[in-house]
Amino acid sequence: MKLLKELKYVESHEWVKVEGSKAYIGITDYAQDHLGEVVYAELPEVGATVEKGDQFVVLESVKAASDVYAPLSGTIVEVNEELADSPEKINESPYDAWFAVIEMSNPDETQSLLTSEDYEKICE
Amino acid sequence: MTRYIGNTNNDQEQMLKEMGYDSIESLFKSVPQSVMLKTNLDIPEAVSEMELVEKMKLLANKNCNLDDYTCFLGAGAYDHYIPAVIDHLISRQEFYTAYTPYQPEISQGTLQAIFEYQTLISELTGLPVANASLYDGATALTEAAIMACEATKRSEVIIASNAHPESIKVLKTYAQFRDITVTAVGYKDGQIDLDDLKNKINENTAAVIIQSPNFFGIIENIKDIADIAHENKSLLIASADPISLALLKSPGELGADIAVGDGQSLGNPLSFGGPYLGFIAVTKKLMRKLPGRIVGETVDKDGNRGFVLTLQTREQHIRREKATSNICSNQSLNALTAAIYLTLMGKEGLKEVANLCVQKAHYTYNELIGTGKFSSVFSKPFFKEFTVKSEKDVASLNKDLLKYNIIGGYELAKDYPELKDGWLLAVTEKRTKSEIDNFIRKAAE
């Protein structure tokens, strides 16, 4: 299982990369491995607002359809359009295949995110 | 009695013994005496098979049937010609089964048939993705409306009041439990009133729903309506008569995002109102929101062409709480019928059917007006169905025609009180010139 030290994590297997007031969101290597081949990602719309814990992305794999939850509250300011045509990127390179960028409305929420060590323990 | 349910006294005793009871009464002891039925059921005594067949025959003979009557009634269900071979093919036991085709390893024939059906519907409607069929035209229209609300995240739909009244009723029934607002748009000279539509469309409108040819038989200007809908970022749902699509531009070409309709016309008998099939086709963008099941083409591990149910992860049985539709079945045998019909007819054959409908309907219309007993109601182009105003009360006119073994038209005032004495007539390719001439003579009497 691949983990990046510089990223933050959520128990529900999302990773978060904070850049100023913005946060990039994707799913972890562990998650993509368990989902199997991802065939479709339903991404949110730019401009939509999300609350921490909201379901904001749906991933369809050959086995199932799974919800992805927003790790932080805020407004969607960008989505990764590339995933619409090549959802396989989520399997190939999960830490590059971000779904959306959230402009945080409550940056304090980042304090509840997990470090890579904490997350690794959860996955064991 | 043991003929149907093998539940003999012996069986009963054994079951009671197994459960630890000595009588039926003790088994039902917990049921209060006040709610127990203490008399026999109020149903007739059993009869012999011969008596039963006789009784059913008598009842059946009270119905008018298309072997003995000439039909000019349409209003959503049509008396088209059905090639004899259809019945033979769909009666093959491989197809004529109640089993649903989930398992690709044993259902390739059925899955391929549905795949072919989807492809034909897709070609007819001019939209790239069709599902394996829905219950009927009305449910297809309603499922499309729900899908549009889901896709646009809006909660209002606008429907043309000249769409099939039953479709409107089904839509309203579903809508009230899903918090969807349904607004009707009026008509002008039989066509949807574009000014009224422009006034009523707003930022909450998920979809504009129209029917073309509409309930009065008139062809709508789908392109203009699509433009109004799209300017507002709403979707256009167009319900269409599949036979008409052989001649008219497809809903997809004219800008519809979703095409729906009833496939009864495609080789399915009238059968007193069902079972029929609803078809639905969508743009690629809406593919994943499509209700029901879709059969897809794939290859097996050896590279051979094969068919499977696809996009299943969204189906109700897997993501039930997230499903936008509770449809978990399709009208497989009716869809197969439609596929065989379309294949037999071919492009040219279907065009010929459609063309004959147009010619015969227009001939009938002109001849009826020519009698002086009927007048025009609308002046817009129509396909195989049209509206006239009758001098005579429509209900009694229909009753008189029945005496001559003719099934007359639909009484429009039932749904449109403003169209008093409005008579909706359908003329299919099956009507011969002599049948039509005879009908006109009798109708003008």
**Would you call B288 and A64 a contact, using CB atoms and an 8 Å cutoff?**
no
Look at residue A100 and tell me whether its pLDDT is greater than 60: yes
* B299: closest CA of chain A, how far (Å): 15
pLDDT at B98 over 80: no
* Burial (0-12, 13-18, 19+ Cβ within 10 Å), A22: middle
End-to-end CA distance of chain B: 56
What is the per-residue pLDDT for B64?
85
Residue A81, Cα to own-chain centre: how many angstroms? 15
Please say if the pLDDT value at position B312 is more than 90. no
User: Which helix or strand (DSSP H or E) is residue B412 part of?
Assistant: none
Q: Listing from the earlier edge strand, what are the strands of the sheet with A14-19?
A: A8-9, A14-19, A22-27, A100-104, A74-79, A49-50
B318 touches chain A (CB under 8 A): yes
Residue B289 has pLDDT above 70, yes or no: yes
Q: Cα–Cα distances in Å, from B342 out to B86, B238, B401?
A: 11, 21, 33
CA pair distance B227, B233, nearest whole angstrom: 10
What's the whole-number mean pLDDT along residues B218-238?
Answer: 98
Residue with tokens 């045509």: A85
Look at residue B239 and give its three-state secondary structure: strand
Longest dimension (CA), chain B: 82
The ipTM assigned to this model is 0.70
B297 burial level (CB within 10 Å; 0-12, 13-18, 19+) = middle
A85 to chain B nearest CA, in Å? 12
H/E stretch holding B330 reads none
| Mean of the per-residue pLDDT values of chain B | 93
User: What was the pLDDT predicted at B325?
Assistant: 81
Q: Please say if the pLDDT value at position B188 is more than 60.
A: yes
Q: What is the nearest CA distance from B153 to chain A, expressed in angstroms?
A: 11
Task: Compute φ and ψ for A81, nearest 5 degrees.
Answer: -60, -25
Contact A77, A50 (CB under 8 A): no
- Are B118 and B132 a contacting pair, CB within 8 Å? yes
Q: Is the dihedral of CA B289, B295, B301, B304 positive or negative?
A: negative
Distance from CA of B146 to the nearest CA of A (A): 18
Average pLDDT over residues B184-211: 98
Summarised one tens digit per residue, pLDDT across range B65-86 is 898 999 999 999 999 999 999 9
**In chain A, what is the straight-line distance between the N-terminal and C-terminal CA atoms, in Å?**
10
Q: Which residues of B touch A64 (CB under 8 A)?
A: 313, 318
**Cis bond before residue B32 (omega within 30° of 0):** no
Residues of chain B with Cβ-Cβ distance to A61 below 8 Å are: 313
The confidence band for B318, taking pLDDT boundaries of 50, 70 and 90, is low
Mutate to test the interface with A, among B294, B313, B317, B320 (most CBs of A within 10 A): B313
Mean per-residue pLDDT, B270-281? 95
Q: How many residues does the structure list for chain B?
A: 445
How confident is the model at residue B172, as a pLDDT? Answer: 98
Using the Cβ of B284 and the Cβ atoms of chain A, whether some distance falls under 8 Å is answered with no
Give A48-91 pLDDT, tens digit per residue.
999 999 999 989 887 778 889 999 999 999 999 999 889 999 99
Residue A73 φ/ψ, nearest 5 degrees: -90, 150
**According to the model, what pLDDT value does residue B4 have?**
65
Nearest one of B425, B439, B408, B436 to B217, comparing CA atoms: B425
Q: Would the pLDDT of B191 be above 50?
A: yes
Q: Identify the band that residue B3 occupies on the pLDDT scale cut at 50, 70 and 90.
A: low
Would an 8 Å CB–CB cutoff place B313 in contact with chain A? yes
Instruction: Give yes or no for residue B46 having a pLDDT over 70.
Output: yes
Check if B314 contacts A (Cβ < 8 Å). Answer: yes
pLDDT bin (cut points 50, 70, 90) of residue B1 is: very low
Q: Least CA distance to B310: which residue of chain A?
A: A62
Q: Report whether pLDDT(B439) > 60.
A: yes
pLDDT tens-place string over residues B341-386: 999 999 999 999 999 999 999 999 999 999 999 999 999 999 999 9
A-B contacts (CB, under 8 Å): 15
Mean pLDDT of B250-266: 98
User: With contacts defined as CB-CB under 8 Å, which chain A residues touch B319?
Assistant: 65
Strand partners for B280: B260
For residue B344, give Cα distances in angstroms to A3, B1, B119, B299, B337: 60, 47, 15, 28, 10
Helix then strand count (H, E) for chain B reads: 12, 17
Cα separation of A95 and A32, whole Å? 10
Tell me the backbone φ, ψ of residue A104, rounded to 5 degrees. -70, 135
CA dihedral of B247, B253, B257, B263, whole degrees rounded to 10: 20
Average of per-residue pLDDT across A22-31: 95
Q: Which of A42, A49, A60, A85 to mutate to test the interface with B (most CBs of B within 10 A)?
A: A60
B283 pLDDT above the threshold of 80: yes
At A84 the pLDDT is 84
Kindly report, residue by residue over B20-41, the tens digit of the pLDDT. Answer: 999 988 999 999 999 998 898 9
The residue written with tokens 């036991």 in the block is B93
Strand-strand pairing, B70-71 and A100-104: unpaired
CA distance B314 to chain A (A): 7
Chain-centre distance for alpha carbon B339: 16
- Taking 80 as the threshold, does the pLDDT of residue B392 lie above it? yes
